[in-house]
């Protein structure tokens, strides 16, 4: 890959990515078929829970069969097909089958309940819903029955693992391979192909609408920066319903001829490591909390993970102490990614040979064919390097818009720049440090406090397993700091007083948490992002703060 292009002014927080290799100007279906032609006999997909595996040729046969079946029952280009299920091979088949016929796949969060399901089905205008029957405590079939009478546009529901699925596939012979090829040839790579609902903390979620070009290229370049080839086998315990699973996972694999390995329907640390061992995975994905759970298993040393050379950690910044453990385990090429659903998702990524400091202090540098800047959120002016501001990104990855919400789209995208709402600092070398959400920044007595810095320090405490810092209301200072802490097993809970002693002389006095909450877990989204809004609400109420 060529050296990163330099911007006109090296003093400003603005940089652009490499321009080689060129962008892929194919649809997802055409790109997938090209990979099959190159690697027909290489393993493409393994579903551990179902005990099933496919070569690329076999996967193409099943994807095309499902695509023809969907056409036969009336699904056409532009129709919205919902998928509501945990990770499974049928999810992957549906992803590629809908792409081949130009139907828009709508990802539905597996954690949704009836109220949220009703909203998404209606807002996206979903006419076909492919769903699991149930998962964990969720009875999907019952919730669908509850909302369906109110949604006349929902024409058909297909439950995976029931006669519904087999009945659907039975219609495949009603459509010829030539008819499918004709439809596929008529698609444009700028067509909308995927809607992903962002987990809004207030109000209803918004449907980020993404094209073939958006997600195919993002998956490809994420894989490029992990140095993927057809020899790689990627363990994907992160959810398919989110970009992490279906783009950084599936599309990164199929653009390189690598193998997608599904360890389980939902995340389980022991099953994930067993899968890495049994399937000889070369790459492992997860958010930091997943890696923490895996590396803290009592029998961690019993798993052979020596085949893993790379992977992706995203969702939250990587704690330095955790990266040390990964490197000690032989995973020296782990990369950190940063982005958002609206940008397909990745905007910055570490390179496999980056330094330890670059992988723990930053989220990498700009991705190929993208442009990033740090701007003053009030004025919009690009700030000098080393000065915090809002991270913004521009290029092929920026979504088409929010589904049927042009007003919300206009608020988020200005002159092609996606406003992320995240606070970033660009270093002199172009690497970016994300210090939190603009709304997560704590202003204590006029001092701007970035929780990430404090969290990093708390990770160095020998008894602390994980830590999250939030701001809570304070009559004197406006806001005060509270640390939510997960203790290592077998250790005594830390007190606010002992934490202050630990921090004293190491952190400025205004950065030392006043309150401490000892918890077993943090409130999270399904993708592993910490819900700090919920943590603030809980703490404020518990401590009687106003």
For residue 527, the model assigns a pLDDT of 62
Spatial separation of the C-alpha atoms in residues 321 and 298, rounded to whole Å = 18
Instruction: Of 258-262, 376-380, 426-430, give the lowest mean pLDDT range.
Output: 376-380
For residue 248, the model assigns a pLDDT of 98
DSSP 341: G
> pTM for this one?
0.88
Instruction: Of 43-47, 137-141, 198-202, 242-246, give the lowest mean pLDDT range.
Output: 198-202
Spatial separation of the C-alpha atoms in residues 226 and 174, rounded to whole Å = 42
In the predicted model, what is the mean pLDDT of residues 277-297?
95
* Edge-to-edge strand list for the sheet holding 464-474: 464-474, 478-487, 515-518
In the predicted model, what is the mean pLDDT of residues 522-530?
79
The candidate with the shortest Cα–Cα distance to 373, out of 417, 434, 317, 416, is 417
pLDDT confidence bin for 525, thresholds 50/70/90: confident
pLDDT tens-place string over residues 300-339? 999 999 999 999 999 877 888 999 999 999 999 999 999 9
Q: How far is CA 234 from CA 57, 273, 478, in A?
A: 19, 12, 47
* Residue 21 CB coordination number (10 Å): 13
Helix then strand then coil, in percent of the chain rounded to 5, is 35, 25, 40
For residue 202, the model assigns a pLDDT of 45
Residues 14-426: name the CATH superfamily. Answer: ANL, N-terminal domain (3.40.50.12780)
For residue 318, the model assigns a pLDDT of 86
pLDDT tens-place string over residues 338-393? 999 999 999 999 999 999 999 999 999 999 999 999 999 889 999 999 999 999 99
What does the angle CA 262 – CA 264 – CA 267 come to, to the nearest 5 degrees? 110
Q: Which two tokens stand for residue 181?
A: 């090829």
Higher pLDDT, 52 or 509: 52
In the predicted model, what is the mean pLDDT of residues 94-116?
95
Three-class SS of residue 146?
helix
Q: Label each residue of 197-211 as H, E or C.
A: ECCCCCCCCCEEEEE
Higher pLDDT, 440 or 294: 294
pLDDT tens-place string over residues 367-378? 999 999 999 988
DSSP 264: -
Spatial separation of the C-alpha atoms in residues 539 and 374, rounded to whole Å = 32
* Residue 6 pLDDT greater than 80, yes or no: no
For residue 4, the model assigns a pLDDT of 44
Non-local (6+) Cβ contacts of 123 within 8 A are: 204, 207, 403, 404
The dihedral of CA 386, 387, 388, 391: what is its sign? negative
Q: Cβ-count burial of 182 within 10 angstroms (0-12 exposed, 13-18 middle, 19+ buried)?
A: exposed
For residue 199, the model assigns a pLDDT of 64
Spatial separation of the C-alpha atoms in residues 81 and 168, rounded to whole Å = 14
The candidate with the shortest Cα–Cα distance to 260, out of 245, 242, 241, is 245
In the predicted model, what is the mean pLDDT of residues 227-241?
97
Cβ pair 347, 365 in contact under 8 A: no
Domain residue spans of the chain: 14-426, 440-542
What does the angle CA 544 – CA 537 – CA 453 come to, to the nearest 5 degrees? 105
For residue 2, the model assigns a pLDDT of 39
Beta bridge partner(s), residue 234: 260, 283
Spatial separation of the C-alpha atoms in residues 132 and 221, rounded to whole Å = 31
For residue 526, the model assigns a pLDDT of 65
In the predicted model, what is the mean pLDDT of residues 453-465?
92
Non-local (6+) Cβ contacts of 207 within 8 A are: 106, 120, 123, 124, 195, 196, 197, 198, 402, 403, 404, 405
What are the φ/ψ torsions at residue 391 (nearest 5 degrees)? Answer: -75, 130
Cβ pair 468, 481 in contact under 8 A: no
pLDDT tens-place string over residues 57-79? 999 999 999 999 999 999 999 99
Spatial separation of the C-alpha atoms in residues 230 and 331, rounded to whole Å = 19
| The residue count for the chain | 546
Higher pLDDT, 519 or 377: 519
Q: How far is CA 278 from CA 51, 261, 305, 544, in A?
A: 12, 11, 9, 51
In the predicted model, what is the mean pLDDT of residues 389-403?
97
Residues of the chain above pLDDT 70, percent: 97
In the predicted model, what is the mean pLDDT of residues 50-55?
98
Beta bridge partner(s), residue 309: none
pLDDT tens-place string over residues 179-209? 999 999 999 999 999 999 986 544 678 999 9
For residue 378, the model assigns a pLDDT of 82
**The domain defined by 440-542 carries CATH number 3.30.300.30:** yes
Helix or strand holding residue 105 (H, E): strand 104-107
pLDDT tens-place string over residues 109-133? 898 889 889 999 999 999 999 999 9
Spatial separation of the C-alpha atoms in residues 324 and 183, rounded to whole Å = 50
């Amino acid at each position: 890959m060529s050296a990163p292009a330099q911007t006109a002014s090296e003093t400003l927080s603005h940089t652009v990515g490499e321009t080689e290799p060129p962008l892929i100007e194919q649809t997802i279906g055409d790109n997938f078929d090209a990979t099959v032609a190159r690697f027909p006999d290489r393993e493409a997909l393994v579903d551990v829970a179902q005990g099933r595996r496919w070569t690329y040729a076999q996967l193409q046969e099943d994807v095309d069969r499902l695509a023809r079946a969907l056409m036969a029952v009336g699904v056409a280009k532009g129709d919205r097909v919902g998928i509501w299920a945990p990770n499974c091979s049928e999810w992957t088949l549906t992803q590629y089958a809908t792409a081949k016929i130009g139907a828009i796949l709508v990802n539905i969060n597996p954690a949704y309940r009836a109220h949220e399901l009703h909203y998404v089905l209606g807002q996206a205008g979903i006419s076909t819903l492919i769903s699991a029957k149930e998962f964990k405590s969720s009875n999907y079939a019952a919730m669908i029955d509850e909302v369906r009478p109110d949604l006349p546009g929902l024409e058909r529901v297909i439950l995976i693992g029931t006669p519904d699925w087999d009945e659907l596939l039975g219609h495949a012979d009603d459509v010829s391979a030539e008819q499918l090829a004709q439809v596929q040839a008529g698609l444009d790579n700028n067509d909308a192909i995927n809607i992903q609902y962002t987990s809004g903390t207030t109000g209803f979620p918004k449907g980020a609408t993404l094209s073939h070009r958006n997600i195919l290229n993002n998956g490809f370049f994420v894989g490029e920066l992990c140095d993927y080839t057809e020899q790689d086998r990627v363990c994907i315990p992160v959810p398919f319903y989110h970009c992490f699973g279906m783009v950084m996972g599936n599309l990164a694999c199929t653009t390189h001829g690598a193998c997608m390995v599904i360890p389980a329907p939902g995340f389980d640390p022991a099953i994930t490591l067993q899968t890495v061992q049994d399937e000889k995975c070369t790459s492992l994905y997860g958010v930091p909390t997943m890696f923490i759970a895996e590396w803290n298993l009592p029998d961690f040393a019993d798993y052979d993970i020596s085949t893993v050379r790379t992977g992706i950690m995203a969702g939250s910044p990587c704690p330095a102490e955790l990266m040390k453990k990964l490197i000690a385990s032989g995973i020296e090429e782990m990369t950190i990614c940063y982005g958002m659903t609206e940008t397909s998702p990745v905007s910055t990524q570490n390179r496999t040979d980056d330094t330890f400091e670059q992988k723990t202090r930053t989220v990498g540098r700009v991705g190929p064919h993208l442009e990033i800047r740090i701007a003053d959120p009030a004025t919009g002016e690009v700030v000098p390097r080393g000065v915090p501001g809002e991270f913004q990104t521009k290029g092929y990855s920026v979504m088409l818009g929010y589904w049927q919400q042009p007003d919300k789209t206009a608020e988020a995208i200005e002159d092609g720049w996606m406003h992320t709402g995240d606070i970033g600092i660009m270093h002199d070398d172009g690497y970016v440090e994300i210090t939190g959400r603009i709304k997560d920044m704590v202003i204590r007595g006029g001092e701007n406090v970035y929780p990430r810095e404090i969290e990093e320090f708390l990770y160095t405490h020998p008894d602390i397993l994980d830590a999250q810092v939030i701001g809570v209301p304070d009559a004197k200072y406006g806001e005060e700091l509270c640390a939510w802490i997960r203790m290592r097993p077998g250790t005594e809970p830390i007190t606010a007083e002992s934490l202050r002693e630990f921090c004293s002389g190491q952190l400025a006095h205004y950065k030392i948490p006043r309150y401490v909450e000892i918890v077993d877990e943090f409130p999270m989204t399904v993708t592993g992002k910490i819900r700090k809004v919920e943590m603030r609400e809980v703490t404020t109420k518990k401590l009687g703060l106003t």
